[in-house]
A and B are shown apart, each in its own frame.
Chain A
Amino acid sequence: MRAFEYVAAKDSRHAVALLAEYGPSAKVLAGGTDLLVEFKAAPRVPQMVIDISRAEDLKNIALTAQGLSIGAAVTHTEIMRSPLIREMCPALVDAAHTIGAVQTRNLGTLGGNLVTCVPSMDSGPTLIALDALVAIAGPAGYQDMPLDGFFVGPRKSILKPDELLVAIVIPKKNLGKPAAFVKFGLRKGQALALVNVAASLRVDSDKHVFRGTRIALGAVAPTVIRAQQAEAYLEGRAVTPEAMAEAGRIAAGEAKPISDFRASAAYRRDLIAVLTRRALEGAYALGKSKRDRET
């Protein structure tokens, strides 16, 4: 690898101060599973690498007044093992499990996955489907924003060079909201998603209709997108397998998949329809078993 300087940030405040000092000539390193790969292929590397992988306040998983807060430097393995996340957002655990392989999950972080911002990111859809927020630290201090606006385009997040993603928050109201994540890759491990889908929903217990459905699609547009027409279609509609299948078909029409060496656009559209249906079914089943347990 080409030469660069290195400093380990003690915490997010330290990291922000370092970013302010070095500006665009610095890059933040967490797990390195994307960044170091990028460095090895790049004609140039940043002058300074700021390592946040062991920054104290970026490794917490905790319930706060806002909801469930996950530090940006929490690894995918830590997500899979967290009792809090397993209980409150099992879909996030499923999503983490589809990322790379054991070795990549032990190093790769949730924040890194979001900041690298590839359209096929596996952590994005579930978080979008749960209306997640992100906490960003900058020279002016901390601010929150919806994750929805965090993704600008392929490999481009909204972060400015002197800003740091600090935490991801799942709002209190969505903790325990039934959700499911489905990914389709050419292999079961070490594979990019051809399409990935997350869905979350509630069921009106009286009328047995869909309420507050969220469907997030990945790998089929420049960023993770919501299938809002499919969501609108389901709102207030009776919960039936046919409705879920139709929602899948509508969602497929909302996406702009590309044809590349991995798959054709047509095949991806097929996948969207099927995976959306499966994600809805999965979320519904999770909710049903919860309701059954509660009654």
Chain B
Amino acid sequence: MARKTDIGEREQRVTQKTLHSVDETLRLPAVTPPVTYPIETLVPQVRQQTPAVGQRATRSDGRMHGLGQTRYIDDLAFPGMLYAKIKRAGIASARIKRIDTREAEAMPGVMAVLTGREIPVNSFGPSLKDQPVLADDRVFHAGDGVAAVAAVTEQIALEALDKIKVEYEPLPAVFDPLEALKDDAHKVHAPNSNVYATKIIKKGDIDKGFAASDRIFEGRFRTQMVEHVPLEPHATIAVWDPNGRVTIYSTLGRITLGRADVARTLKMPINRIRIIATIVGGNFGGKNEITQEPVLALLSKKTGRPVKGTFTRTEEFIATTTRHPIIMDYKTGVSKAGKILARKVRLVLDGGAYCSWSETTLGKACILAAGPYNIDNLLAEAFVVYTNKTMTGAMRGFGAPQVCFAYESHMDDIACALNIDPLDIRLLNAFEEGSSSPTGQVLQSVVVKDSLLQAAQRFGWKEARS
């Protein structure tokens, strides 16, 4: 008994002392004391077996998926929930002269209508903030949203869209990225140039390299716009609480970025915004940024009720990001034996109507444009240009698949012309342990040649060629 009281007293004294000393330390020093980190850093042990790697594991979501019990955003419902639909411009480049929403607002069952001018800050984007939440004055691509409606049923919301009258003044438009590159092309986001990001990689001296080459090959390769087509369309539900905080349930992949974008566009402190993302029915990069979240948040605020919006499959194609089409011009100088001595690449990325993740795509495409090959003399110039088409953004690979198509096709063309086995020309040029990437990164764990040789053996490459 006595001991317990003793501990109690000691505890009390220790606690008081700690509390007091915290007060002392809270007075921040004028100069922050130096912090020392351990000098030794852990070097990862590559290719070592660990207890977990190589073990069979069951996916934690498999059971719920199989039972059909997984709740995706569209499977959620809230009491009093309204349904939102967005009217799409249907014209690639225009000035909006007038939007008349009176007839739609008067429809029974329509609870609110929203247009671009009601958005507090009508611009967002992962880097360049060039994308409007709803088109206000200008339309930059046919999938731009120009107005939104919240109604008691989806059917009424769709009918209300028909009743919204928009008067457009068509403007010139540019659709071909090579056209957009020209000085006299229509400026999509005038007065800015259509070229909104550039990356240049220079290594060695390509003039010397070409001069020393036995043969020089040129080729142009193009890839097309690709839509992610996640099986689950974009879906979002916005709900406000009595304390003026909004919760947004969304198929959004990057929720922290989403909060920042919603905070910006709604001019709200970020701590009043909660984004809940749940199991998503496929993303592949297409759900990396907000689409309708601010629209639904505002409709929900206006109506005082939860508002759900789901994209139609058509909207998935016209109003969500897509993969950048790229026009790739390759010029490669090789020795007689097929060793690459110099390479010049020009990439023109179709950057769509808005920047989105184009800079990342540009960066990766440019760095990877040379391929996994040792090239001492390299010039890679990459540009991304605005066009009046669906915005291009993140899609698995971020530019890598496009350039891979180009440099490997180019390699095949060279091998064919030189009468060299396509496998051999790659073995001759491929990265090795310690090779340096176009940007000077020294590469480790390089297994390109091992993989090629193993694959060749499994496919029966030599047998097929003979």
Asked if A and B form a direct contact in the complex, defined as CB atoms under 8 angstroms apart, the reply is yes
List of B residues within 8 angstroms of A2 by Cβ: 155, 158-159
Q: How far is the CA of A1 from the CA of B162 in the complex (A)?
A: 13
**Does B162 contact A3, Cβ atoms closer than 8 Å?**
no
Q: How many A-B residue pairs have CB under 8 A?
A: 6
Interface size bucket, A side?
under 10
Q: How far is the CA of A107 from the CA of B456 in the complex (A)?
A: 47
CB-CB contacts below 8 Å: B404-450 with A: none
**Does B162 contact A43, Cβ atoms closer than 8 Å?**
yes
List of B residues within 8 angstroms of A3 by Cβ: 155
List of A residues within 8 angstroms of B155 by Cβ: 1-3
* Cβ proximity bits B140-170 to A, threshold 8 Å, 1 near / 0 not: 0000000000000001001100100000000
List of A residues within 8 angstroms of B162 by Cβ: 43
Chain A proximity of B162: nearest CB distance (Å): 7
Chain B proximity of A223: nearest CB distance (Å): 28
Q: How far is the CA of A168 from the CA of B155 in the complex (A)?
A: 38
Chain B proximity of A259: nearest CB distance (Å): 17
Measured CB to CB, the nearest residue on chain A to B158 is A2
List of B residues within 8 angstroms of A43 by Cβ: 162
Q: How many residues on the B side are at the interface (Cβ–Cβ under 8 A)?
A: 4
Q: How far is the CA of A3 from the CA of B156 in the complex (A)?
A: 10
Measured CB to CB, the nearest residue on chain A to B312 is A40
Q: How far is the CA of A3 from the CA of B155 in the complex (A)?
A: 8
CB-CB contacts below 8 Å: B369-393 with A: none
Q: How far is the CA of A43 from the CA of B162 in the complex (A)?
A: 9
Chain B proximity of A131: nearest CB distance (Å): 41
Measured CB to CB, the nearest residue on chain B to A41 is B314
Chain A proximity of B47: nearest CB distance (Å): 41
List of B residues within 8 angstroms of A1 by Cβ: 155
Q: How far is the CA of A43 from the CA of B90 in the complex (A)?
A: 15
Chain B proximity of A250: nearest CB distance (Å): 36
Measured CB to CB, the nearest residue on chain B to A40 is B312
Measured CB to CB, the nearest residue on chain A to B162 is A43
Q: How far is the CA of A243 from the CA of B158 in the complex (A)?
A: 58
CB-CB contacts below 8 Å: B222-259 with A: none
List of A residues within 8 angstroms of B159 by Cβ: 2
List of A residues within 8 angstroms of B158 by Cβ: 2
Q: How far is the CA of A122 from the CA of B162 in the complex (A)?
A: 35
Q: How far is the CA of A3 from the CA of B153 in the complex (A)?
A: 12
CB-CB contacts below 8 Å: A192-232 with B: none
Chain B proximity of A235: nearest CB distance (Å): 46
Q: How far is the CA of A49 from the CA of B162 in the complex (A)?
A: 23
Chain B proximity of A44: nearest CB distance (Å): 10
Q: How far is the CA of A113 from the CA of B7 in the complex (A)?
A: 89
Q: How far is the CA of A2 from the CA of B155 in the complex (A)?
A: 6
* Cβ proximity bits A6-45 to B, threshold 8 Å, 1 near / 0 not: 0000000000000000000000000000000000000100
Q: How far is the CA of A211 from the CA of B155 in the complex (A)?
A: 58
Chain A proximity of B223: nearest CB distance (Å): 16
Q: How far is the CA of A2 from the CA of B158 in the complex (A)?
A: 9
Chain A proximity of B367: nearest CB distance (Å): 33
Chain B proximity of A144: nearest CB distance (Å): 41
Q: How far is the CA of A158 from the CA of B159 in the complex (A)?
A: 32
Chain B proximity of A41: nearest CB distance (Å): 8
Q: How far is the CA of A125 from the CA of B158 in the complex (A)?
A: 39
Pick 6 A–B contacts, CB within 8 A, sort by A: A1-B155, A2-B155, A2-B158, A2-B159, A3-B155, A43-B162
3 closest A-B pairs by CB: A2-B155, A3-B155, A2-B159
